Every structure is written in C-alpha cells, then in structure tokens.
Amino acid sequence: MKLNLKQGLLVFIIFCFSTVSCLGSERVDIHTLSTGDAVYRQDTSVVVRFNSPRNVLSTSVLNGGYQGRLDAVFNHDMKGATGIDAASYPDYLQDVARQLGLKPGKASGMGTAASMDNVAIWAESYETLTVTAIVTGGVEGNGGRAGDPATYFIPVKKKTLHKPGTINIMLVIDADIPAGTMTRALVTCTEAKTAALQELMAGSKFSTGLATGSGTDQTIVISNPGSPLYLEDAGKHSKLGELIGRTVKQAVKEALQRQTGLSPARQHSMLRRLERYGVTEQTLYRQYLRDYRAIDRQQFLSSLRQLDNDSPLVAYTSLYVHLLDQFQWQLLSDDELAQTGNELLQVTAGKYHISPPVLATPGLESGVQAWSGLVVDIVAERVNNDK
C-alpha cells in the first residue's frame, strides 16, 4: 500500500495480522514505502527489502556502521532463542538473515524481545519529502536514563557485549543525504525517542530519573541516493529534522502502547508517578502497619487502588514529584523544596480532609517520606470511613 500524503498530513498505520497468516516462512506484506520498497513480516521478523541501492547507517553488529551495499534490513523477535551470548549474537543474526532468504553479507538486522505483531509504522510528508518510522519497543523492564549506574565493564577483543534491542527503530528517509547528515539524522531520531519517553513520564528502572531509552536500543537509518531531492541538514531547524522528530516520536509511543500498554491513560496513576522514587503498594502498606497498627492488607490495598487514579491526587502527586526532580537537578534549594513541598502537602491534605504531614527536614528521603505519609493518611481515613 502506497502512502499519498499531502503537505503536513499525519498518517498513522498499524498492522496486526493473525498468527495463522505468519506460520512457517510465509511473507506478509504490511506496507509499501514511498521509495517503493516493501515492508513485510516473515516468521518473527519485519523486513525492509530494497528494490534499488540505499545508504544505511546501522547500530547493528551485523554489517553495522555506514553501508551502501545492502539489500535489506530487518528487526527480529528473538524471545524464542536460547544460548545466545555476546560471542554468538553476530552469528545468530547471520542465521536469521539466511532463514529470511537474505544474504548475510548484504543485510543488517536488530534483535529484540518485542513482538513483531506490535510494530508501529508512522509516515509524514512535506512537499516531495517523506519520512517513515518503523518501530517496536518496550521500556517496562529495561528503561534507563543516560548516566544511570551501569552493571558491567567487560573489555573484550574486537567484540562487545550485546543484548537484544528494546526500542528498535528503522527510519526511512526518501531523500539523498550525505553520510554526515545521516549521522545527524540518527541524533535527531534518538532525541525524538527520548522526547516520547519524557512525554509519557516513563521512569528509569535503575535510578529515580525519567527514562531516556532502554539499555539495549538499536536504530537503522535508511536514505535513498537515487532520489532527486538532496538535503544536507537533519537538525531540528530543518524540515527533515522536524519530520524525523514527529514520525519517530509518534511511532515510539504507539509501539510502546501496543507492546506493554504504556500510554497516557495508564500513566494517569499516582502510584506510577511515585514508582521511580521507590514508593510502591508494599512500601505504603508497611508504613500503614507502622503508623496505624492495622493489619487488614486487602482492605488497605483495595482503598489504595481506588485512590490511585483519583484526579486531584494524580495531579498533586505529579507536581510534587517534579519538585523532587528539580531538587535532584539542583534547580531548587533545600529551603525551596521544604517550603513548596509543605504547601503542596497542605493543599492536598485539605482536599482530602486530613491533617497535613510536615516536611520538617529538607532532603530527598524526607521529601519522599512526607508524601508517602500523606497517601497513607488518606487511605487510612477512607478505610476508617468504610467501617
């Protein structure tokens, strides 16, 4: 299917085929790019097969870097693979290429734990330029923020440790662009992915920060050297950069929603806003036990879950968490945290007709403890009213 997009028109395409149609090695066409290249699903892979020469910039261990001699690129769901480690991963991708009917020396591919059923394709055009993002992803288990504490440092000869990618992006630019501009496109693409995660308030699993990606993301950028359209700028001031940002951001959001349910509606949750600061149902229940000497866990959790999506509490919690963020980023002082934090505690407590906790000692730990105490007090008041 060919997209015929008017200037500035945003088109979103989701393709979901039944499992039966993808048994064996059957090819299922899911999209035709503006370049004329086919996008199809085969087994547990999504493939972009080139019908004429393309330039490719890839983070893959299989023919990665800048290439002008490839026939295809692919994204592969490797959840069913066993015994794959750093040394065998490149060979594994070569085997996948062969199974897809591709020449391993003329293909580049990415591994992931995301299902190809959940691929999101988003395209945008401006005049004669079309940009298309083809994305799978999930950050629920592997989301991280640049600069988070890492878990390994393993120098090896000529090879590095690779894990299956989590947010995998194939970005197709239907224009002729030089190698340096492709690299700039990769930067803009990465910024757009991070912007999508920021707008979803997706938290890092390794720190209190917001996620900027996962620890295993991969990207392939494809351009069309045969296009009469020649562009030299892929930054945010250019139309190419704008289209990259818009297509990637929207496709990433849709892919995350399809894979794990991550969405604005799901994020409208007091508990999800607090989770990256270590506040969970269990920590709140422990505080309830300590403060109220009550042991009815089910009644506490029932009231807590009913409160979780309560609009005023979600909004006030979001403001308070951002206050903690700015304190950590050194944009607010101890005194500013204490003063504004206590004002938010007082306003929120008044909304729920309880006495406000006091943030007496400035600091991150005491700030988190004060808001946890507020939530526990609100739940306790509800439990008592239900008796």
Distance (Å, whole) CA 150 – CA 135: 26
Report the pLDDT value the prediction gives residue 152, as an integer from 0 to 100: 60
Least confident of 17-21, 48-52, 94-98: 17-21
Report the pLDDT value the prediction gives residue 384, as an integer from 0 to 100: 83
Whether 360 has a pLDDT exceeding 60, the answer reads yes
Distance (Å, whole) CA 95 – CA 110: 12
The CATH number given to 10-262 is 3.60.70
Report the pLDDT value the prediction gives residue 139, as an integer from 0 to 100: 86
User: What's the pLDDT band for 266 if we cut at 50, 70, 90?
Assistant: very high
- Mean pLDDT over 122-150 rounds to 90
Burial of 81 (0-12, 13-18, 19+ CB in 10 A): middle
User: What's the pLDDT band for 156 if we cut at 50, 70, 90?
Assistant: low
Task: Tell me which DSSP letter residue 238 carries.
Answer: S
Contact at 8 Å (CB) between 145 and 177? no
Q: Residues spanned by CATH 3.60.70 within the chain?
A: 10-262
Least confident of 8-12, 173-177, 250-254, 312-316: 8-12
User: What's the pLDDT band for 387 if we cut at 50, 70, 90?
Assistant: low
CA–CA distances in Å: residue 285 to residues 37, 138, 181, 288:
55, 29, 53, 5
User: What's the pLDDT band for 11 if we cut at 50, 70, 90?
Assistant: very low
**Cα dihedral: 331, 335, 340, 345 (round 10):** 130
Largest CA distance in the chain: 74
Whether 153 has a pLDDT exceeding 80, the answer reads no
The two beta strands, 143-144 and 168-173, are unpaired
Which residue in 46, 3, 28, 37 sits closest to 136, CA to CA?
Answer: 46
**Cα dihedral: 85, 90, 92, 93 (round 10):** 130
Distance (Å, whole) CA 49 – CA 56: 12
User: What's the pLDDT band for 149 if we cut at 50, 70, 90?
Assistant: confident
Whether 140 has a pLDDT exceeding 90, the answer reads no
pLDDT single digits (tens) 85-103: 778 899 999 999 999 999 9
Report the pLDDT value the prediction gives residue 385, as an integer from 0 to 100: 81
β-pair partners for 387: none
Whether 21 has a pLDDT exceeding 80, the answer reads no
Distance (Å, whole) CA 301 – CA 290: 15
Distance (Å, whole) CA 319 – CA 327: 12
Contact at 8 Å (CB) between 34 and 57? no
Distance (Å, whole) CA 60 – CA 163: 11
pLDDT single digits (tens) 160-197: 444 444 899 999 999 999 999 999 999 999 999 999 99
- Mean pLDDT over 264-291 rounds to 96
Contact at 8 Å (CB) between 129 and 181? no
Report the pLDDT value the prediction gives residue 332, as an integer from 0 to 100: 97
- Mean pLDDT over 294-311 rounds to 93
- DSSP codes of every residue in 106-136: GEEEEEESS-GGG-EEEEEEETTEEEEEEEE
Whether 283 has a pLDDT exceeding 80, the answer reads yes
Mean pLDDT, the chain, integer: 89
Report the pLDDT value the prediction gives residue 15, as an integer from 0 to 100: 33
Which residue in 267, 221, 224, 268 sits closest to 247, CA to CA?
Answer: 221
Whether 265 has a pLDDT exceeding 90, the answer reads yes
Least confident of 39-48, 221-230, 353-362: 353-362
Contact at 8 Å (CB) between 185 and 222? no
Report the pLDDT value the prediction gives residue 202, as an integer from 0 to 100: 95
